[in-house]
Structure 1
Amino acid sequence: MSSETRDPCEEQSSSDPVALGNSKNFWIWNAETGFDLTHPATPTDEPVVSRIELEAYNAKITIAPHKTALVIVDLQNLLALEPPNVNTRAEEIILKYAVPAARKAGIQVVWLNWGLTQEDLDNLNPATERIHAFHPDGSPQLNKGFGHDMGLQKTFSGEEVQAGRFLMQSQWNTRLHGPSEAAYQEGLKTSIPDRLFYKNRISGMCQAKTDCTDFLVQAGIKTLLFAGCNTDVCVMGTLQDASLKNFDCILLADGTGTTNGEKAQWATERNCRKGWGFVSYCTALSDGVAKMKVSAH
């Protein structure tokens, strides 16, 4: 580290820049601009060309759009079987603010859904299998776990659909929910096409290697903006594992929802900003992109 950017362990003024991390993976903090997550080659290199300043809870952060992905978790057709709720509200905000902002800034959009293969089903660990095979009171739900045939279902709008095998790939119930599917199809035609990946656990990044994490690493992505449902389960499970894999993680709180109650949402946001990354908002991303700074060099 140079004398201008000091190690946080050294004695220094509160106005001096602070490098957090190591020589290969670091943020720069200073009192005026907050946390710089743009990842130049060294702390004293010229600023990354395109920069988005993002207001976060109790922090300011700066990200590089070409090193950033918007990861949208579990906005699947299962939403259509329920009355409008916090998750459909989160979807509306994602599609109104986060996705258009990502497209404008050149941020990669990634959709990450449940979608098991038969091999996944044959190798489920007991804890994962219990999630849907038992009621919350501890009693079993016979023939209601992963892979069961959901049969004919009526959506909240009254449409009857063959929902397919529960949380398996290539089934109606695991396809993107209507508005999200439309956004995804639109995104396939953009200069940075959207990507869709499937997960076979609560977390979409729990294994050492997944198609999603391999893609992100190969694309040079460093920073992940998380949205989707449920906040305290699949979104946070994936975010925690992403953080442990050395991605910068930002939870877009207004673009998440959970049917487990306001306390679960509050606790998840608190744990995220204290231990796993930052908490910001889809609206803040939209505002930041509108003011995006592009260097002349």
Structure 2
Amino acid sequence: MNPHSLRPLGVPPNAWGVSEAIADLTRPPLPPQPVTLKTQTKCLHLDLAKAAILVVDMQNDFCHPDGWLAHIGVDVTPARQPVAPLNALLRRLRSLGVPVIWVNWGNRPDLLNIGAGLRHVYNPTGEGVGLGDPLPKNGAPVLTKGSWAAAIVDELDNQPEDIYIDKYRMSGFWDTPLDSILRNLGRTTLFFGGVNADQCVMTTLQDANFLGYDCILVEDCTATTSPDYCRQATLYNVNQCFGFVTHSQNIAEAIDNC
């Protein structure tokens, strides 16, 4: 069989080669990109050809002074701290073909898949500005798909070739195509950044661990507006139960030394 006579069908590495008479299901792997990465607990040998980075909830409602969190009195300054290290890290990873996946809260405008218990978290009295309600400063509907409120903050360098996932719960894996996309791309090692570390980042990372992914939290690319003990507990629990914690500089050094 001449492999050059076959036409590719699918997304590598989960792609076939096909012709009128043949379907080649061998799925040749992507060329390996091995690196050695220092983390807080162990030195990891990993393959960047099997890695992706998930950036969680770096959007206006959580990070902008005119967004929903700021409207309810939360100081969003900490949520903006990952911007610079994320931009630097994403440039390095994109240059090596590592997929950048933005996982943002973006609800249906009609909220038909959002139960009362979840809406209560964002509007406990029923009288305030909750999910889908317009923000007083600009009228953007809170955490609604396609709105300014759900958009990635302007300071972050997101590109058309990146992958964009709308989520409807704290976890980016719940009722979304994220797992299917990662499996189709053959990505089993996941870097995590974004906000809030102890909430949406942590629940997404936990679900990834439960699904069998290798999980690496990038500490300086992750932040929270919660009290610092919440951040400390997140780092502890990731190291103890769900994966590894590293720094973006460690990733840069691993790439430089490969």
Deviating more after overlay: 103-112 vs 221-230: 103-112
Report the Cα offset of residue 123 of structure 1: 2.7
Aligned pairs for 1:102-251 within 5 A: 102-118=93-109, 121-134=111-124, 140-151=125-136, 153=137, 162-180=138-156, 183-185=157-159, 188=160, 193-207=161-175, 210-251=176-217
Partner Cα separation in structure 2 for residue 110 and residue 93 of structure 1: 16
Distance in 1, matches of 2:224 and 2:128, equals 25
| Equivalent pair of 2:32/2:49 in contact (CA under 8 Å) | no
Alignment-derived partner of residue 240 in structure 2: 274
The structure 1 segments of at least 4 consecutive aligned residues displaced by more than 6 Å after TM superposition are none
- Aligned partner of residue 130 in structure 1, secondary structure: helix
Normalised to the residue count of structure 1, the TM-score between the two structures is 0.70
**1: CA distance between counterparts of 2:244 and 2:93?**
18
- Mapped partners of 1:72, 1:49: distance in 2: 24
Question: C-alpha separation between the residues in 2 aligned to 1:49 and 1:143?
Answer: 52
SS state at 1:227 partner:
strand
CA distance, structure 2, for counterparts of residue 165 and residue 227 of structure 1: 25
Q: Secondary structure at the match of 2:44?
A: strand
* Deviations 1:141-180, CA, capped at 9 Å, x for gaps: 51422111114x2xxxxxxxx3411101010011110012
Which ranges of structure 2 fall in alignment gaps of 5 or more residues? Answer: 1-30
Q: In structure 1, the residue corresponding to 2:190 is in which secondary structure?
A: strand
Hey, what's the Cα distance between the residues in 2 that align with 1:148 and 1:84? 20
In structure 1, the gaps of 5 or more residues are 1-47, 135-139, 154-161, 293-297
**Distance in 1 (alpha carbons) for counterparts of 2:40 and 2:108:** 39
Tell me if the contact between 2:103 and 2:166 (Cα under 8 Å) persists in the aligned partners. Answer: yes
CA distance in 2, matches of 1:127, 1:66: 40
Give TM-score, length-normalised by structure 2. 0.80
AA at the equivalent of 2:118: T
Which of 75, 87, 96 does residue 79 from structure 2 map onto? 87
String of CA shifts for 1:77-101, please: whole Å, max 9, x gaps: 22221566222111221112x2122
Which position in structure 1 is the counterpart of 2:220? Answer: 254
Whole-Å Cα distance in 2 between the matches of residues 239 and 215 of structure 1? 16
Measure how far apart 1:125 and its partner are.
2.5
SS class of match (2:155): helix
Determine if the alignment matches structure 1 residue 75 to structure 2 residue 58.
Answer: yes
2:12 — aligned with what? Answer: none
State the identity %: 26
Q: In the aligned structure 2, how far is the partner of 1:277 from the partner of 1:203?
A: 17
Cα shift at 1:255: 0.8
Give how far 1:75 is off. Answer: 0.7
Q: Is the 8 A contact 1:104 1:289 kept in 2?
A: no
Give the secondary-structure state (helix, strand or coil) at the position aligned to 1:179.
Answer: coil
